[in-house]
Structure 1
């Protein structure tokens, strides 16, 4: 039976999760993985109009400037200004492509991202994109990011980076970082998570330290759509939703920040329109049981 909650897509997009530093992050965001500059500009605008307030970019994606410019353009438009939506309502994330033992190299890379984000004034969340490079590079990169956050009290709007976190960190990497007694606690760990790759051990480790899990590729890049998973299709039909909506709802009910990607205007809306039903406890368990450690792109969580 479908449980109707009456929530619209915009209501779902207004949901936030509190980070360890007390900042609030939108629970459903637009993933911008490898979108072209043109796709990025268009998709960000569509998403903002649909109610999205969180955007996930990266140095690797080569669309930081387009993301920031599109958001800034939206915020400065007369309709937006009159609606009362301001920069503080937006949550912008980017990521450091390469860890390094060279502080100057890291600073150059970070400063380049900050320059791209200049129209926004600051970056809400800056992540280490992966644990690659070895322990020394990981620790130097983290300590360098800490300096940006500690340049102010975290509430000062002049601070260029509000929060920092990690991505693709496995259990050993999280334990390594926490054992170093970091001056700034990682706010999130962004990993691939969906019913076909549940990442239970990493999630448990994140919970242990109060680190929020961000789920990238929450739709498994569509690899299981179109009835390729009879269980997924059967449950989607049961709830009267699409397979994508079922997977986003699964992510939301697990308490993740979820980052569905789409360059199509209609799908941007439908992906977030997951407030009108609730997956039962039994069906959540069924979806959890689909885990086959499906990796849709890369998996450096066991990197040395």
Structure 2
């Protein structure tokens, strides 16, 4: 199965379906990422905060998959913002991953009280220019943060990775991203810590109509909205199910019914206050 790719504003592309490793036990990461690669995932999303970059790196090294067939994302944590700290943190991430470059490097949060993300972004531009980060982007950035980057730096982020699922569809931020040539990527795409997204509303009925599971319906919903999506599972069978989402298509009515589950309620941290 070839996963479709979406084009960045910098001319590079990202596989639209990937595999996330948030809250994956570092001791289990190599096994879990190896399973994901064997299932067929080629886009792996990690972060310094997760503490499992080494396990991701070991799985990559032992996979036998050519580097140019993989897409690897990692992220800079808030306490490492600022030019010098960012350079040190990025070098550490590359070392842990065992790579000489990543395909995408993200500022994990704007951390507005620190007021360092513009300086940090200029440092990200250095990595991009040096080829050690093929593309650069942000995560959890608000329109006002993106406006500052546009006003004070030379590069529009390739992507903005945000909490996004049927209970929190973030339409306004998605529209902002699209209007400014920024892809949107969904973290927590199956609901993160939200109670029973997969058992909610019409999902079971829609899943039954297509002969798939509710998680497959939700992943398909992300894909049809033109989002990059990174589901996570520690179970190989569920990984395979989450990857098997290209053999059916949701109708416009089904998409609208899922959109209608939106409560506007955030389940993860709030970028206004996480610093």
Q: Give TM-score, length-normalised by structure 1.
A: 0.85
**SS of corresponding position for 1:125:** strand
Say whether the 8 Å CA contact 2:166–2:197 is kept in structure 1.
no
Matched ranges for 1:161-180 at <5 A: 161-180=133-152
1:75-105 Cα shifts (integer Å, max 9, x gaps): 2xxxxxxxxx410110000000016664212
Distance 2:83 2:96 in 1: 20
Q: Does the CA-based 8 Å contact 1:99-1:106 persist in structure 2?
A: no
CA distance, structure 2, for counterparts of residue 291 and residue 167 of structure 1: 21
CA distance in 1 between partners of 2:244 and 2:189 (Å): 15
Match of 1:206 in 2: 177
Does residue 231 of the first structure (1) align with residue 202 of the second (2)?
A: yes
- Asked if the contact 1:249–1:279 (Cα under 8 Å) also holds between the matched residues in 2, the reply is yes
Match of 2:67 in 1: 87
Deviations 1:251-272 (A, max 9, x none): 0000111000001000111011
Cα distance in structure 1, aligned partners of 2:228 and 2:68: 18
Q: Which residue of 2 aligns with 1:291?
A: 262
Task: Identify if the C-alpha distance between structure 1 residues 173 and 44 changes in structure 2 by more than 3 Å, giving closer, same or farther.
Answer: same
1:45 aligns with one of 18, 28, 34: 34
Aligned match of 1:134:
113
Match of 2:122 among 123, 138, 143: 143
State whether residues 101 and 136 of structure 1, in contact with CA within 8 Å, keep that contact through their aligned partners in structure 2. Answer: no
Which of 24, 40, 43 in structure 2 is aligned with 1:35? 24
Q: 1:205 to 1:135 in 2, by over 3 A?
A: farther
Instruction: Name the SS for the 1:150 alignment partner.
Output: helix
Q: Which has the higher contact order (CA 8 A, sep 6+)?
A: 1
Spell out the pairing of 1:252-263 with structure 2 (5 A cutoff).
252-263=223-234
Match of 1:194 among 165, 168, 186: 165
Between Structure 1 and Structure 2, how many residues are aligned? 274
Tell me the secondary structure at the aligned position of residue 126 of structure 1.
Answer: strand
Q: TM-score, normalised by structure 2?
A: 0.93
Q: Structure 1 residues 20 and 147, CA, compared in 2 at 3 Å: closer, same or farther?
A: same
Q: Does 1:58 align with 2:47?
A: yes
Instruction: Give 5+ residue unaligned stretches, structure 2.
Output: none
Q: CA deviation at 1:58?
A: 0.2
